[in-house]
Amino acid sequence: MPDCLSRVKRLLLAKTRMVAGVVLGYFKTGKGVIQIMKIQTKESAMSSFKALMVHRDDKNVISHELTDMQHDDLPADGDVLVAVKYSTINYKDGQCLTGLGRLVREYPHVPGIDFAGEVVESADPRYAPGDKVVLTGWRVGEIWWGGFAQFARVKADWLVPLVDGVSCFDAMAIGTAGLTAMLSVMSLEKFGIRKDGAEVLVTGASGGVGSIAVVLLSEMGYSVSAITGKPEQAEYLRSLGATQIIARGDIMDGEKKPIQSAKWAGCVDSVGGDMLARVLTQMKPLSAVTVVGNAGGNDLSLNIIPFMLRGIGMIGVDSASCAFDTRIEAWKRLARDLPKPALESATSVIGLADVAAAGEDILAGQVRGRIVVDVNR
């Protein structure tokens, strides 16, 4: 209760920035009645902003437009307005930008499944102007307008306060990909995969999830083998901490068998499809695979022999709608366990005007590591 009251007071005392306030209700306490108000700043009341708008015509042709918008154009039923500082490019962003997978329900649309920025307006007592926040998941950027814009209005339940040691830029260098990687590591730990040099495998290792998973696992004491279809990325993966680089063909070629030599104590798989099926046949007894992506397809053809004979665990990782407390724990772990130099080496920066091309690149497998979008660039 004291924390909630302090947040309400912060909302009401932001008078130096407030130009208008709308009373939304009243909060009764032992010391009296406090009005809960929607705080509107000069920035939110007056300025226009840039956004990347995706259109689909009557022939289902997708086009993109960098356009000027007003705050009134944003979804009306969000309760927090955020000045977006940075967004990022994920595989799902590529799908939303191109119409692949029919993730976007209505057009015109502002994609961007992640963003980090500063609250400028809030109707929820948990957040006040000036708070730094991050959003990942919740189908934002798919069925809700997202972060490829300089402002976004969203539901407070979808936000997470930035933890100490993580800036807005850091948060988007990490993004959904890094959060997913950390949730995978936490799942392997919970399954009982020990860190004392255990051999773990990362598929799709040069991608966003894979790159951060390699860094995290190597930093935590695992021996990391990285699978890639790009031989030119071998040195990059070694710089992130991989001790062995495995060509995709070494896993995928050869006769399919229901079970093969046991090699891996754990695996973070961001590929799915036939790659996941092959990896499962090589897992050690009482090992586990986290399933976090489907770049290689949704269908999985396998048999039950590895599960019966070796007690393998296959763990789905939901980073899009996991609980608030789980998100906070994961972000705190990322702040502690992910070295910033390694993160920076895996990150490039683009502006809003470059987003559409980057979306095509990530779908084509041409993106290494992470791309941060500076929406004010």
> What are the residue ranges spanned by the domains of the chain?
27-162+343-374, 177-316
The architecture that CATH gives domain 177-316 is: 3-Layer(aba) Sandwich (3.40)
Q: What does the pLDDT average to over 32-39?
A: 44
Specify the CATH number for 27-162+343-374; select among 3.50.30.30, 3.90.180.10, 3.40.50.360, 3.30.300.180. Answer: 3.90.180.10
Q: Which residue has the higher pLDDT, 97 or 44?
A: 97
| pLDDT grade for 148, boundaries at 50, 70 and 90 | very high
| pLDDT grade for 256, boundaries at 50, 70 and 90 | confident
| pLDDT grade for 34, boundaries at 50, 70 and 90 | very low
Query: Count of CB atoms within 10 A of residue 340's CB?
Result: 14
What pLDDT does residue 16 have?
35
Cα distance between residue 234 and residue 250, in whole Å:
14
Mean pLDDT lowest for which of 3-12, 48-57, 217-226, 294-303? Answer: 3-12
Q: What global pTM score does this model have?
A: 0.86
Same fold, 27-162+343-374 and 177-316: no
Cα distance between residue 54 and residue 67, in whole Å:
10
Report in angstroms the alpha-carbon separations of 251 from 212, 226, 248, 266, 282.
Answer: 22, 11, 6, 16, 10
Count helices and strands in the chain by DSSP H and E runs: 12, 17
**Max mean pLDDT range (33-42, 199-208, 250-259):** 199-208
Q: What does the pLDDT average to over 216-234?
A: 95
Cα distance between residue 305 and residue 145, in whole Å:
45
Q: Which residue has the higher pLDDT, 237 or 295?
A: 237
